[in-house]
Each structure stands twice: as C-alpha cells, then as structure tokens.
Structure 1
Amino acid sequence: MSQTCRTRDFSFQLPDDWTDRSMIAWAGPSDNSGPVAPNIMVAYDRPRPGEALGAYVNRQMADLSSRAQGFQLELRRDVMLSGRQAVEVLFQWNSGAGMVKQRQLYAQLPDGRLISIVNTAPAERFAACDQQFLAMLNSFTWPAPGAAA
C-alpha cells in the first residue's frame, strides 16, 4: 500500500491499483424554496479503455436522459477549463420534489482519470445562482506541472 489519500482532516493508505473516485461537495445557503440548496460538487472517474472525453460525456448524458424524469438537455459544447479542453453540458430534470437544473463540466486529467464539476440549483433559481457558480468556475486552476498533489 503505497498510495496515500490526504485531506485536510485525515490521511490513510490504499493499494496502488485502487482508483480515486472521491467527491467534494459544497452547498450554499438554503431558503427551503426548492428541492435542493445551490451546490457545487467535484468528482473523479475513469473512462472505459479507449474512451475519449466526448464519448464519456455522451454516455453520461444517455444514462441521465434514460433515468431522469423530464430530462431536457439545453446545451452541450466544447469549452476550456483553466486552459484544458473540457465539455460543458447544461440540463434540467424533475427530481420528484421539483425541477432541478445542472451545469456539468468534464475534463481529462494527465493520468487518464476524468474530473466532473457539477453546479446544481432549483431550476427557477439557477439563473440567480449562476453568477456565483461562474465565479467559482473562473477561479478554478490546475496545479503547475510537477507540483506535489
């Protein structure tokens, strides 16, 4: 076990062949007016062998559209995330407790893993939350090459 997971609050050892699929989530203040509080979540995943970023995103959207009630894709485009190629999607669906809207950005890391950054808010409040979401996304940076993780 030579792989170490370090956070602000703890660390532990893992086998080298285990994949980091951690998630980081932050929630904004809730006014209890919708199904969720505005939030941002960052998650890691691995694409299938040989699967390109665009194909991975297509697979994720196909899965969501088949499972999410009332799924409506509003936007899918190639973008840059702090100088790295990424794919952005914007969609909404009915959570059962109300309409939810999400922006998801996907980018590939040098080691082959993918990172997704997800902004979520009640659909009717998404536009009001979007200024904060975009400020967070615009502050996003990658570590310098060779910098310690």
Structure 2
Amino acid sequence: MSEFDELQAAIRRHAHERQAEERACEAFLNALYHALRAASGPGLPLNNVTLDFTVDPANRLRPVPTGGFHAAWLRLGLCEVLVRVRRVGGAFQGEYGDGGSFRLEGAGEDELITLARQMLRGVADTYAGSGQERVRRLN
C-alpha cells in the first residue's frame, strides 16, 4: 500500500469520529450564540447578535483532524468576534477575540450564559483599552 493509499484509509477510518466532533462543536457554537442573545437576562434578548460559521484560519488541513478547532464569527452589534472551539477530553476548549479563552466541562444553559457574559466583558475591556487577558475555568 502506498503512502497516498495509507493517507486515504486513515481519513476514511476516522471520518465518523471527525464528523461527530464537528457536529458537537457547531452545536456548542450555536448554543453560545443563543446564550449571547439571552445574556442580558430573561425577557431582554439581544437582537443584534448573529452567527456565521467559518473555516478556522489556523487550520492547515481539510477536513479538520480530530481535536482541531471549529470556528464562527459572532457579530455583537458593532463588532465581530472570532470564536474557536474544539473538544479536549470531553470538554469544550476555546478561544475568542483578543486573547480570551475558556474551558467548559459541561455546556448547560448556566455555563453558557456565564461564558457569554465573560465574553462580553472581555471584548468590552479590549475596546476600552484594558485589554487584560481573561482566562477562566468554568465548572
């Protein structure tokens, strides 16, 4: 078997796992979008939040290998924030904006609302000039 054939076989062998991970990451990004819309509290939805899935600019292979990042641009009113997420040991690990990062063991509503508010504060800090890197572990 040639190296090319070995590559094709490896890609096929892990296709199901890769696709399941991609679906999970996209579902997480979609849930984060909904959490951002609800971050102002019950009955106060943020209507100027949009989600646009995109190819992660740091990915150097397609399809994205298992453990790779999946990305989306989240428009938050006047700005857009690139959010990258991947699965690591069953948790969602990600990055957003200018140095923000997170790790969520669970993706329940409360965890996502907390992350959404953290993101909004982090992005506001960036534009306000405080630009402090916010690294928090949720859960």
Which structure features the higher share of helix residues? Answer: 2
* TM-score for the superposition, normalised by structure 2: 0.34
